[in-house]
Amino acid sequence: MIRFCPSCFALKRTAPVLNHTSRLGNYFNNTFSKFSVNRMSVSSYSSDASSTVMDESPPNGVTKSVSGKGPTAVVMMNMGGPSNLDEVGPFLERLFTDGDIIPLGYFQNSLGKFIAKRRTPKVQNHYSDIGGGSPILHWTRIQGSEMCKILDKKCPESAPHLPFVAFRYAPPLTEDMLDELKKANVSRAVAFSQYPQWSCATSGASLNELRRKLIEKGMEKDFEWSIVDRWPLQQGLINAFAENIEETLKTYPEDVRDDVVIVFSAHSLPMSQVAKGDPYVYEIAATSQAVMKRLNYKNKFVNAWQSKVGPLPWMSPATDFVIEQLGNRGQKNMILVPIAFTSDHIETLKELEDYIEDAKQKGITGVKRVSSINGSMTAIQGMADLVAEHLKAKVPYSRQFTQRCPGCTSESCAERINFFQDF
């Protein structure tokens, strides 16, 4: 049958899937309620997706840091996702009209809007399957709030630290975040990419948008910017994924536990981009290797790629292909690990679950999925350690930030590097 790929909104031919809408919706709702019960101190967030700054006021009304320069903003930058069904259409339009992530050439704007309009009803159905919206804003707010609490203790010289969210394609958007920075009297801002592994199509697209909006608003000199542009080997990230895998392994009978294959699944990338030297593929490999080292290589593992769009070649092997091929060889037990994502969203809650249902229909009954790092305090502590090191090092970005891909011909890439070199 023809299935609509929920993460990239393209049609793809697959085997039939079971109807598991109710189970996914229950998972989505239970995840939120379970977190609220166990961590009441980190779940008091406004449901208004347009609110950019998180519900964290400076302690005791403080509006300046110890240095007297004002609060330090930590801006959590990500693709984002629609928080409700009404946001799906605008989300898709922003996505398909962005040439950094889906290049359509001369017809980028007109064709992108046309595709978005055609896709909207189907994609709304997919978001209905996971509870009516993406949980990515929910988890990003939790991560940012808890991280900044830790930063206030670790880095009193730059406190208070205020968490903000800037999504590329869904509210809260980059331009809204900039207005909130101004209102909060922020002087220094850290652009913290929530893509642990760098790609010009993801991290690069978010920073391109930040540059554009700063220029449009005439705010180029209003804030002192620095960038945490990649963190594929951050120990808190590695430990959080390893802990999730260990917990899932415990759900298998002890006598088969060591035979479970770990399948690290990341969003795929066009081979045309890979051929230019985009570092994403080898940074994904670095993360998965580090996780397996933390697990003492007790299980076999493989890297796989999901969410291919269109007929052109993309990085492979595809996640669903890996599951099927391993199953055909008698491997029934696998754990899917969304190694490129810091929170669950449509690609984990819908797409990976579809793969699991497909596998069950083919007799591959032991495939399970671990959650992303979501509200893991191990991961959040790691984020705080990473930003603290960044602040204390007083460097604008990583050494790798100014290294363009060998085959890069993108003007926006050169403009991004030149722009942030001035800070």
Q: Are 169 and 26 in the same domain?
A: yes
Q: Give the global pTM.
A: 0.86
Could you tell me if 245 and 343 lie in one domain?
A: yes
Angle at 37 between CA 140 and CA 165, to 5 degrees: 10
Pairing mode of beta strands 2-4, 11-13: antiparallel
Residues 330 and 394 in one domain: no
Q: Is residue 275 part of a domain?
A: yes
Domain annotation covers residue 75: yes
> What's the Cα-to-Cα distance from 404 to each of 158, 202, 276, 315, 398, rounded to whole Å?
31, 15, 10, 20, 13
Structural domain that includes position 193? 18-231+377-420
Q: pLDDT class for 54, splitting at 50, 70, 90? A: low
Q: Are residues 331 and 401 in the same domain?
A: no
Percent helix, strand, coil in the chain, to 5, is 50, 15, 40
User: What is the token pair recorded at 121?
Assistant: 């009803």
400 and 290 in a common domain = no
> Is residue 217 included in any domain, yes or no?
yes
Residues 357 and 302 in one domain: yes
pLDDT at 68: 55
Residue 413 assigned ligand-binding role: yes
- pLDDT of residue 388 exceeding 80: yes
**Quick one: 223 and 358 in the same domain?**
no
Residue 1 lies in a domain: no
Which amino acid makes up residue 10?
A
Q: Among all chains, which residue has been given the structure tokens 């206030």?
A: 152
Residue 11 in any domain: the answer is no
- Per-residue pLDDT of 80-109, as tens digits, reads 999 999 999 999 999 999 988 888 889 999
**Active-site residue identified among 55, 176, 229, 385:** 385
- Count: domains in the chain: 2
Please tell me whether residues 240 and 202 are part of one structural domain.
no
Q: Is the pLDDT of residue 31 over 60?
A: no
Residues 113 and 51 in one domain: yes
pLDDT value for 314: 95
Residue 410 is assigned to a structural domain of this protein: yes
Same domain as 248, residue 107: no
Reply yes or no on whether the pLDDT at 157 is more than 60.
yes
% residues pLDDT > 70 (the chain): 84
Please give, one letter per residue, the 3-state secondary structure of 37-73: HHCHHHCCCCCCCCCCECCCCCHHHCCCCCCCCCCEE
Sheet holding 366-369, edge to edge: 301-306, 261-267, 333-338, 366-369
Task: Say which CATH number the domain at 139 has.
Answer: 3.40.50.1400
- Residue ending a domain, among 333, 350, 369, is 369
Specify whether the CB–CB gap between 344 and 130 falls below 8 A: no
Question: Is pLDDT of 172 > 50?
Answer: yes
User: 160: which DSSP letter?
Assistant: P
Asked, for residue 3, whether it belongs to a domain, the answer is: no
In a domain, 184, yes or no: yes
Domain boundary among 350, 369, 388: 369
**Residue 405, annotated as binding a ligand:** yes
How far, in Å, are 59, 141, 175, 263, 406 from residue 195 at the CA level? 29, 15, 20, 19, 21
- Residue 60's nearest CA partner among 159, 167, 191, 190 is 159
Task: Band the pLDDT of 52: cuts 50, 70, 90.
Answer: low
Question: Are 28 and 58 within one domain?
Answer: yes
* Best CA proximity match to 305, nearest among 103, 1, 20, 7: 7
d(CA 164, CA 401) in angstroms, rounded, equals 22
**Does residue 354 carry a catalytic annotation?**
no
Q: Are 329 and 188 part of one and the same domain?
A: no
